[in-house]
Amino acid sequence: MKKLIDKIEDYQKLKCMHPLTCGQRDKHPNYRGILYGKIENGNIILKCPNCNYVQHSIPEIIFEDNPVIEGLEWLQEKYTDKEINIMRYGKTR
């Protein structure tokens, strides 16, 4: 369980992916409401640190070994191949 929480945290920090954010962001416009993972009654949930918003469904991509590569399709719309290689390998090949 703890490992899955860590995966959520890692994913939320990825610069090239859009983090999962609070569904009630209009209630706190000055804060993005990046959700964090929490174990509640034996289930993993996503919670907003700024309000009581809770998201029970967590996209599977977060638990993939490499969500960056899984999200490549999305990346290719925004970045060049060269930029994607830098993100994946820290350098161009």
Residues that bind Zn ion (CB under 5 A): 22, 24, 33, 48, 50-51, 53
Q: Please name the amino acid found at residue 10.
A: D
Nearer to Zn ion by Cβ, of 19 and 71: the residue is 19
Least separation in angstroms between CB 28 and Zn ion: 6
Least separation in angstroms between CB 44 and Zn ion: 18
Least separation in angstroms between CB 54 and Zn ion: 10
- Burial of 32-66, coded b for 16+ CB within 10 Å and e otherwise, reads ebebebeeeeeebbbbbebeebeeeebeeebeeee
